[in-house]
Structure 1
Amino acid sequence: MRELTLIGIGTGNPDHVTFEAAKAIAAADTILIPRKGDKKSDLADLRHQIIAKVAPDSAPKIIEFDIPARRANGDYLEAVDLWHDAIAQGWKAAAQDAPCVALLVWGDPSLYDSTLRIATRLDPMPDIKVVAGITTLQALTAAHAIPVNDIGAPFVVTTGRQLRDHGWPKGADSAIFMLDGHCAFQTLPLEDFDIWWGAYLGMENQVIRSGPLQEVCADILATRAAARAAHGWCMDAYLLRKRR
């Protein structure tokens, strides 16, 4: 593998694919598509749909590969480190002898995505190119038609694990939380925050909720649980802002 192109494809809406990304997809020789089990097969299917839509006249070789499972017990960072090693080896095995390979990255390779970190584990290191994509942060605020911050005020982008383990981020009145499968906002004093929540952002089955956290918390928990039961998976994010 001499060249690896990481193409951000947005959060599920094929219209999120930029002209730059469409050109990169059309120019690709080989595209790797990850499979994450039957419950998430629609994520692989959507990648196939995007390729067919934006590059109907090109014929890249498409290779699907299975994402290995991450160890659930023991030290979290150690488990992630071993998992990333396994994924990198999976890329190499799937790509075989293809010199120029592309991966379609959900969202953007730069924001809470490990594709770039995994790429550095390839040996020998290929030439890495990145095509920026629409992020979950953008899709969330667009869905609610809100700005992410107050005038002149900073904001934080972090994870549900950080909120659960360390509480509200210091020095911020607004924060966006990603990768939160346990709805860590429940650990906060509900009366102190407003929330803007969204799941399947950009997709046909997008669902959003907003309001004082104390009033909409139960609805969000029930809506998320029902959606996960219906689809087998749920990718969501939310903005919390301190109430004045």
Structure 2
Amino acid sequence: MRKIHVIGIGAGDPRQLTLQAVDALRGTDVFFVLDKGEVKADLTGLRRDILRTHVPEGTYRVVEARDPERDRTAGTGAYSPAVGDWRSARAGIYERLIAEELGADESGAFLVWGDPALYDSTLGILEEILERGSVAFEYDVVPGISSVSALAARHRTGLNRVARPVQITTGRRLAEEGFPAGVDDVVVMLDARQAFRGYADQDVDIYWGAYLGTPDEILDSGPIAEAAPRIERLRAEARERKGWIMDTYLLRRAPGDR
């Protein structure tokens, strides 16, 4: 039976891997890597750096495939179907890689940024492949340090306050729905809209980070009225320089300011 490891590799720093993740890396024969194109070539490079750091040379091979494009122009009603189509396209690629590149007694691995359980599609894609029934394998999951954990650590803050909840959401949902009811601490991911700008007139603090765990890491924090213009400028400069950006932030509202 083929074996697949889904390994959380942290936010980018090779030192963020857990001992369990290193053990899984060293027990893998084939690493599957999706190429996201020239603009994001450094993401592939970071994965290779992790392998060079933790796995003896000559004990594994890397198989690359091109990541399918996702329709990022879909409106609110079409967003979920667009994501579903993209995931199914990825499933077809993963299915082919496992069937053609992995021997019956070999183990393969997908290296997942952050943690596989948080805003990542790999687990759902593997389940879709198994449901198709054309290739059999078993898989396990190794947790990783998420960008959310890295963000809180770099800003030396907790994600929640005493006896209070914290919610993780997306920029899209924050822009459409605002703060969830009864929640004053919100972690926002995948925010191309910069939805934090809508809170510049409120008593809200922001703890922001981009490219967390990498040599390009950028941090900023403070009352959102003061920090938002700085973050917008930093974000625009970074995106222009690198061609892409991954950022995460925590919004912390003063209790009772609802």
TM-score for both structures, normalised by structure 1: 0.96
SS of residue matched to 2:244: coil
Counting only pairs closer than 5 Å after superposition, residues 84-163 of structure 1 correspond to structure 2 as 84-95=87-98, 96-98=100-102, 99=104, 100-122=107-129, 123-124=132-133, 126-163=137-174
The number of residue pairs the alignment matches comes to 244
Report the Cα distance in structure 1 between the residues aligned to 2:73 and 2:247, rounded to whole angstroms.
Answer: 24
SS of residue matched to 1:180: coil
Report the Cα distance in structure 2 between the residues aligned to 1:190 and 1:200, rounded to whole angstroms.
Answer: 27
Q: CA deviation at 1:94?
A: 2.8
Question: Out of 65, 82, 86, which is 2:85 matched to?
Answer: 82
1:173 aligns with 2:184: yes
Q: AA paired with 2:53?
A: K
Report the Cα distance in structure 2 between the residues aligned to 1:168 and 1:17, rounded to whole angstroms.
Answer: 33
Per-residue CA deviations over 1:126-145 (Å, capped at 9, x if unaligned) read 31200010011110000101
Q: Say if 1:190 and 1:238 are closer, same or farther in 2 by CA, change over 3 A.
A: farther
TM-score for both structures, normalised by structure 2: 0.91
Report the Cα distance in structure 2 between the residues aligned to 1:196 and 1:128, rounded to whole angstroms.
Answer: 36
Q: Say if 1:190 and 1:14 are closer, same or farther in 2 by CA, change over 3 A.
A: farther
Report the Cα distance in structure 1 between the residues aligned to 2:151 and 2:73, rounded to whole angstroms.
Answer: 31
Q: Say if 1:210 and 1:23 are closer, same or farther in 2 by CA, change over 3 A.
A: same
Report the Cα distance in structure 2 between the residues aligned to 1:187 and 1:173, rounded to whole angstroms.
Answer: 15
Q: AA paired with 2:166?
A: F
Q: Say if 1:201 and 1:72 are closer, same or farther in 2 by CA, change over 3 A.
A: closer
Q: RMSD in angstroms over aligned alpha carbons? A: 1.4
Alignment check: 8 A CA contact 1:157 1:176 kept:
yes
Q: Say if 1:115 and 1:190 are closer, same or farther in 2 by CA, change over 3 A.
A: farther
Per-residue CA deviations over 1:130-182 (Å, capped at 9, x if unaligned) read 00100111100001011111112111111111101111111101010001112
Alignment check: 8 A CA contact 2:69 2:86 kept:
yes
Unaligned runs of 5+ in 1: none
Residue 67 of structure 1: aligned partner: 67
1:232 aligns with 2:235: no
Report the Cα distance in structure 2 between the residues aligned to 1:103 and 1:213, rounded to whole angstroms.
Answer: 37
Q: State the percentage of identical aligned residues.
A: 39
